[in-house]
Chains A and B, each alone.
Chain A
Amino acid sequence: MLPAQFDYIAASSVEEAIAAKAEGGDETRFLAGGQSLLPMMKLRFATPSKLVDVNRIAGLDAIEHRNGHLHVGALVRHADIAASGEVSGAVASAAPWIADPLVRNLGTMCGSVAHCDPEGDWNTVLLATGAEVVAQGPSGSRTIAIGDFVQDFFTNSLNDDEMVVALHIPVPSGRSGGAYQKLERKVGDYATVGVAAHLELAADGTISAAGVAMTSVAPINRKATEAEAVLVGNAPSAELFAEAGAAASSAADPRDDVRGSARWKRQVVAAFTQRALAAAAEQARS
């Protein structure tokens, strides 16, 4: 299959890429890993008039700790994250479960986040960890909370002349932990159900902050604030995690489809929430 015709430029700087995007507007797309965009173009679901290839821009491949957060540049591939010693918690837990090994060698975390596929795993992880998206435009850069960035089904809140240049994932100074649970029918399939959990513990061992979010069980990646409210201020326990699991399950809005019934997916949400929270708590205590 051949994509429709398009103009192509390989940008050598972020400024050049943004200028090209500003000129082309909505019909121009950035090309990073291309693991979602190119399949869509081959099927003619996407027919951009111009591609701005950002793969040759230097300095976008950093994955490092900066000022209390993990900085993930626009060209950091999923495989880089899986192999990095810098990542922990839910991010480290999810990385090996993104797509398949071949896709992970090309696909980028920033690209996946910007794509806003409701069945994508990363936005769930970022909702649970409270990450920010760094968007750069012609007049400078701004940070957007992930909850404001993910607008809708395949829709982010970027302006037409903005590019995602990095993600900032908070790294708590105290005790914390996180995990991602994903059920997939086979390697490379979208999640049937995914749940990310992030916990921070206070000095007295109670939960000072909690993040729970879900993949593939709502029209968008859904933060389970109902489950988070159950957790904060309480001591971690199996009973508490079961209660949080029930709250997440009620907040989920899954559909019957080829991957399973809505009723069963709700049960998976409850079980995965408990397991992810238990793993997060164990990590935080160790």
Chain B
Amino acid sequence: MEITININGSDHTADVEPRRLLVDHIRTGAGLTGTHIGCDTTSCGVCTVLVDGAPVKSCTMLAVQADGRSVTTVEGLKTADGLHPVQQAFSDEHGLQCGFCTPAMMLVGAALIADNPDPSDDEVRWAISGNLCRCTGYMNIVKAVQAAAAAAAASNGSDGDS
């Protein structure tokens, strides 16, 4: 079945079997390996991508379900101006150890701050509660998301002034 998915701003057309999972399609079909496969049983959240802006587990969605929709992977966070605030903040705040859960954590963080420009500790913890970090580096992940929110708010503010 032929499907077209807008991945990180570019249309990607391919002929896929209905049973192909979105995560396989992103990694093997589109060659974007920043989206990881962890448990493959809807438990760990490392395969998180944004579908029309909402974080979902791409191991638990068929590629054909994403036909005509927009998918953002970690590769799509970076803009022409440089790193996304959440990427810069994960670097600055040591929001990662082994890095395996990081693409998912950053996408969930980016989706959260798009909705909530000043999330509390509890709100960040609630938002990432479907994502496991086996390094247990949650403290710095929470700090990084909050730092990203502050940086995004500051840069939005300065855009508004100029």
* Interface: A27 (CB within 8 A): no
Is the beta-carbon distance between B127 and A34 smaller than 8 angstroms? no
Segment of A35-43, A165-173, A276-284 in the binding face: A35-43
- Cβ contacts A168-209/B at 8 Å (1 or 0 each): 000000000000000000011000000000000000000000
* Interface: A154 (CB within 8 A): no
Question: A6-B18, A100-B130, A103-B130 in contact; A38/B45 too (CB < 8 A)?
Answer: no
Nearest CB of B to A87, in Å: 18
Is the beta-carbon distance between B65 and A102 smaller than 8 angstroms? no
In the bound complex, residues from chain A placing their C-beta under 8 Å from that of B136 are: none
Nearest CB of A to B10, in Å: 23
Kindly state the separation between the CA atoms of A134 and B105 in the bound complex, as whole angstroms: 38
User: Who on chain A is nearest to B20 by CB?
Assistant: A2
Partner of A103 from the list B18, B57, B127 (CB cut-off 8 Å) is B57
In the bound complex, residues from chain B placing their C-beta under 8 Å from that of A102 are: 45, 48, 55-57, 108, 130-131
Q: How large is the interface on B (under 10, 10 to 19, 20 to 34, 35 or more residues)?
A: 20 to 34
Is the beta-carbon distance between B19 and A4 smaller than 8 angstroms? yes
Is the beta-carbon distance between B129 and A42 smaller than 8 angstroms? no
* Interface: B83 (CB within 8 A): no
* Interface: A144 (CB within 8 A): no
- Cβ contacts B86-110/A at 8 Å (1 or 0 each): 0000000000000000000000100
Is the beta-carbon distance between A42 and B55 smaller than 8 angstroms? no
* Interface: A105 (CB within 8 A): yes
Question: A100-B129, A101-B130, A187-B129 in contact; A53/B57 too (CB < 8 A)?
Answer: no
Is the beta-carbon distance between A105 and B1 smaller than 8 angstroms? no
Is the beta-carbon distance between B55 and A34 smaller than 8 angstroms? no
Nearest CB of B to A82, in Å: 11
* Interface: B77 (CB within 8 A): no
In the bound complex, residues from chain A placing their C-beta under 8 Å from that of B127 are: 101
In the bound complex, residues from chain B placing their C-beta under 8 Å from that of A39 are: 41-42, 60
Kindly state the separation between the CA atoms of A7 and B64 in the bound complex, as whole angstroms: 12
Contact surface of A with B, Cβ cutoff 8 Å: 1-8, 10, 31, 34-35, 38-39, 41-43, 51, 53, 55, 79, 99-103, 105-106, 187-188
Q: List 29 A-B contacts (CB under 8 A).
A: A1-B40, A2-B21, A2-B24, A8-B18, A8-B62, A10-B67, A35-B42, A38-B60, A39-B41, A41-B19, A42-B40, A42-B41, A42-B59, A53-B64, A53-B65, A55-B65, A100-B45, A101-B55, A101-B129, A102-B48, A102-B130, A102-B131, A106-B56, A106-B60, A187-B129, A187-B130, A188-B43, A188-B129, A188-B130
